[in-house]
Amino acid sequence: MSSLDAGFYFIEDENVPMHVGSVLVFDGPAPSYGDVIRLFVSRLEQVPRYRQKVKALPFHVGRPVWVDDDHFQILYHVRHTAVPSPGGEDQLRNLAGRIFAQKLDDKKPMWEAWLVEGLEGGRWAIISKVHHCMIDGVSGTDMLQLLLGTEQESKLPEPKEWTPAPTPSTLDLMVDGVRDAVLTPVQHLSALPALARNLRSFSEILDFGKSVLGSLPGTARRLFTRAATSLNGPIGPHRRWVWARANLAEIKQIRKVTGGTVNDVILAAITRGFRDLLEKRGELADDMVVRTMVPVSMRKADQHNELNNRVSAVLVNLPVGESNPVERLRIIREQMDDLKSSRQAAGADVLTNLSNFAAPTLMALGSRTAMRFPQQVLQTITTNVPGPRVPLYMLGRPLVEMFPYVPVASTVRITVGIFSYLDKFTFGINADFDGVPDVQVLADGVRTGFDELVALSAE
């Protein structure tokens, strides 16, 4: 595993399952369970990680490694269930929330898929969950498209025989781990000159650090703006998961009048959702923000179909204290423009790569400690993954919608995942069950955020 992938593996505990997921809704009739099994089996050759499990080394003398599961059983990973009548969105969301709240078995390949029947209108769904140490949002989309096709009729290829590779002995892996712990820092040291050249000069790394520490105004000022407090707190084992929707046509209409990017408009609508939530809680103030981490994909064109994490991140203040929706959008647009010009995402990726210097044992302890340490800097995570713009099918059935699931962790009780498909945007809002009983207010507020901007752009 890379250091970042291993970090996602190490921070998991009984209350923080670290998998990403999605719910895919199809028009019926539902395929047979056997056909779904055959589809997965026929594709496993293209995703070898799905037949591999994690082997952690004693005392974490090396990063965890992937080994073939010599007892792999597809029937364990692909499951079959149904929702109770009437099979509406509430029943599907409640089922998905329970499934997403459960940890994956780390003694087996860390993924599951559930065929769900009984949806109203003759529809059916696939609920999928994959551990974050295997994929990030972009590589997860790539793997998803292996199961979905662009043609309505498709013939399944014959599955090929698979023989698991022998598992290396623990002693051999420990020797490799010690060697890696010694050689990796040396290799990264030798790469520093090239890394510095990519940032024009090594002093630019120092300038980035100074900006975070507060000697430069933009990013530092955002870190010290008054943030909401009730959004942070301890996390329990259960989850509430709700949805919201938007479409590309209304976002284009808004942009035509207000300017900005699609992502700017989406963040403005999410800001309205958090504003409504805090107002209902009696916490809203004029100068308040909700600080969100926005992951940025650093994956290059030739790095798709890789099962790993290649992400960086930027911090954005959502101006929930501002009552004017157009002004909220302007504030967000200026922040995003500033972040792009200041190259914060590039600097953050440098710091992510430098984590490879950490010895695996320290990284394991550090990852856990960082995610448990109480903090008020960050209130939520917002991740927007662009999906396909062409119709997709599974076993000849058209995909109608898909909703993303992003895990909560540390003291961050709410995450917002956004997925685009065709001309639609879907929002999967995940929240701690006990800490955010009013999460539906947030989801409704996101939809209100789009409605008010559309109304203002039509005037």
Per-residue pLDDT of 1-53, as tens digits, reads 777 788 888 888 889 898 888 999 999 899 999 999 999 998 888 888 899 99
What token pair was written down for 285?
């103030």
pLDDT mean by block of 10 residues, the chain; 459 residues = 79 88 93 93 86 80 84 96 94 95 94 96 94 64 70 76 80 57 50 47 43 46 72 93 96 92 94 98 93 69 48 82 96 86 48 42 48 70 84 93 90 92 95 96 98 92
- Could you read off the pLDDT of 39-95 as tens digits, one per residue? 999 888 888 889 999 988 776 667 788 899 999 999 999 999 999 989 999 999 999
Q: What is the pLDDT of residue 431?
A: 97
Average pLDDT along the chain: 80
Of 263, 234, 259, 258, nearest to 248 by C-alpha is 263
Say whether 131 is catalytic.
Answer: no
Full-model pTM: 0.82
Question: Which uninterrupted H or E stretch holds 192?
Answer: helix 170-198
Residue 331 CB coordination number (10 Å): 21
CA dist 336 and 322 (Å) reads 17
Query: Measured between alpha carbons, how far is residue 49 from residues 162, 326, 383, 386, 444 in Å?
Result: 13, 46, 24, 23, 38
- What does the pLDDT read at residue 175? 53
DSSP string computed for 423-439:
TEEEEEEEEETTT-TTH
- Determine the Cα–Cα distance for residues 402 and 31; give it in Å rounded to an integer: 18
What structural domains and CATH numbers belong to the chain? 3-170 (3.30.559.10), 216-457 (3.30.559.30)
| pLDDT at residue 165 in the model | 84
One of 60, 77, 132, 304 is an active-site residue; which one?
Answer: 132
